[in-house]
Structure 1
Amino acid sequence: MKFAVIGGTGLIGSQVVTKLNAAGHDAVPHSQSTGVDVITGKGLEQAMEGADTVINLTNSPTFDEASPAFFQTSMDNLLAAAGKSDVQHFVILSIVGVDQVPELDYYRAKALQEDVLRAGPVPYSIVRATQFMEFVDAVLSWTTDGDTVRLPTTPIQPIAAKDVAAAVAEVAAGPPLRGIHNVGGPDVFPLDELGRITLAAHPDGRTVTTDDSAGMFAAVKGDVLVAPKDAHLASTRYTDWLS
């Protein structure tokens, strides 16, 4: 099968390309660096020429109120090009619980991306993943003040990027789901505990203070970011990944 991987040079995309090609497929990475622009539409039809499946792994440059416009425009352009190129399967990567956190601009934007795909003309699959292990350091930095990191007790189920990439590649190589495939890591942690585990493994002088009003994850109610019962759970544990 031939795959056009839009955003194929990023953290997830590059690994998806490698996995699909290792499995004997023809997966081609596309990004701004290869002359493809999802906002202007430049290069999209050429990128999709002859492709059986398109995998869209592009992301908004911001997490704020500008992100819905990015996903609306990019998906409109991608679906228009896919329709002209007779693509048979369109795959996106989304977030577990994305439609249950309307308080966050970025989550509303990703939910919009899913809605646009569902309403589009191409058979589709949505892979929803829990929070990436690779992003935990960034989460800590958002609420760092001097030597103190303030974090809420929001339940988080971290998953390694390599496991997300494996799930995306597997779904993309199969028939369109016309639905959602959920994936998560093997363990659930309160976010403040996750911060303490992270800093214990790589101490830098900071300590974690529990603050249920701190950071974007404070807006999350309950355990909506935890993988549902039907999810596939990857094997990589956070403590092993840290080491």
Structure 2
Amino acid sequence: MIDPTPEGRRAFVLENTRPQAPPHTPELVLRLADEITPIWRMTEEALEQIGLPPPFWAFAWAGGQALARYVLDHPEIVAGKAVVDFASGSGIVAIAAARAGAARVLAADVDPFCGAALAVNAEANGVACDFTGDDLLDAPPPAWADVILAGDICYEKPLADRVMAWLGQARAAGKTVLIGDPGRSYFPREGLTKLAEYQVPTTRELEDMEVKKTAVWTLP
């Protein structure tokens, strides 16, 4: 079992990943794993829990890459604004928002390793992002946030339903909402506006094809 402190989790991240440039955002550097099964097993062993979700923080998923690319190419969306990166994972979207000039970035994820991964990755890219391990879905969207970003959130139906309802509340409160998704099974295309579409290089380790058509959407 690993040391459960932030320092222990940071050490786990550093020991089981290597610096890589995600193919769709080559200007960023993230600590990523090469294979999903070994690090998944090591995470379960480290926490002494079987049946954990995949270590999403150890990979640059297609939806996050697309959303990060869009933010980097359209910095006016976040520049000078307060941003929430929901289900942050590796922190790729949060880091892109910080690089694009956001005044404040909060990365949120319930996986206890995400805070350590974000800290390492933000440091590598010369930016600062806040982190919370709280489940933001348990409360209304933060009143202080101007923009909410969410990548790869629709891989399970119950979660997709909760997140989309929460994002709808955010949009109704006047916030800008952007979603990156590569056509996950439970992604609701109705009621959304497509902003961009990309061909995102990935691997069969993570997806069913090596290049994934991925779009960035907004709630109008």
Which TM-score applies when normalising by structure 1? 0.31
Structure showing greater radius of gyration is 1
Greater helix percent: which structure? 1
Which TM-score applies when normalising by structure 2? 0.34
